[in-house]
Structure 1
Amino acid sequence: MTTFSKRLKKARKARGISQERLGIDAGIEPASASARMNQYEKGIHQPGESIVKQIAAVLNLPTAYFYCEDDETAHLLQCFHLLKAKDRKDVVDLVENLAFRN
């Protein structure tokens, strides 16, 4: 399994939706939605960038989430994505202060 396929399956299951529903909501033809999502989750095929963006939108995740190799970074991206603009700025300021303090 690829990093993408593992993250996709985990995110879909966390949302409690079927492969077919996710595929359809992401704009995949209903007749092939389930099969294509199954192939993506098994790592048999890799979706193109536009499909990944559509899947991310349906799951309310940033596209980068699907490519993070470690769980901690993926979780941070997931949380950051859900924040409002002002809160994002506060988080970036905090991280910069922590990362670059003497």
Structure 2
Amino acid sequence: MSNHNPIPMRLKEVRKKAKISQKALGVRIGMDESSASARMNQYEKGRHTPDVRTLKLIANELGVPLNYFFCEDDQMAEAVCLLAKLKDEDKSRVLSILREMSSQKELL
């Protein structure tokens, strides 16, 4: 993928899925009520990129892992969300399966 920034698309997608307005999301993460909507709009339009601390607050508020915002394709975005919900032992099992599948592909 080129220099495409996935953050705006992912942010808008997960915010809409959560059925929360830009303003409400901004206020919930501590932005001033008078500027929350405009700031979130700038993030979703890609005019400005939130710093990692702000992005982490947004991720926590919307119930997604931070790395969700950096996924360049929908399958990876779904995978990180599902993986984040698993217990550590289940994450280890999934990683083992992925390693096995990856090494098998390398042999072909």
TM-score by length of 1: 0.90
SS of residue matched to 2:34: helix
- Please list every run of at least 4 consecutive aligned residues from structure 1 whose deviation after the TM superposition is greater than 2 angstroms: none
Task: Confirm or deny that 1:39 pairs with 2:42.
Answer: yes
Which residue does the alignment assign to 2:77? 74
Task: Confirm or deny that 1:10 pairs with 2:10.
Answer: no
Give distance in 2, aligned partners of 1:91 and 1:15.
Answer: 27
Q: How many residues align?
A: 102
By percentage of residues, which structure has more helix?
A: 1
Structure 2: 5+ residue stretches without partners: none
Aligned pair partner of 2:64 in 61, 66, 74: 61
SS of residue matched to 1:45: coil
Identity of aligned residues (%): 40
Give distance in 2, aligned partners of 1:19 and 1:67.
Answer: 20
Larger radius of gyration: 2
Which residue does the alignment assign to 2:91? 88
Which residue does the alignment assign to 2:26? 23
TM-score by length of 2: 0.85
Give distance in 2, aligned partners of 1:21 and 1:79.
Answer: 26
Q: Over aligned residues, Cα RMSD in angstroms?
A: 1.5
Give distance in 2, aligned partners of 1:99 and 1:23.
Answer: 40
Which residue does the alignment assign to 1:97? 100
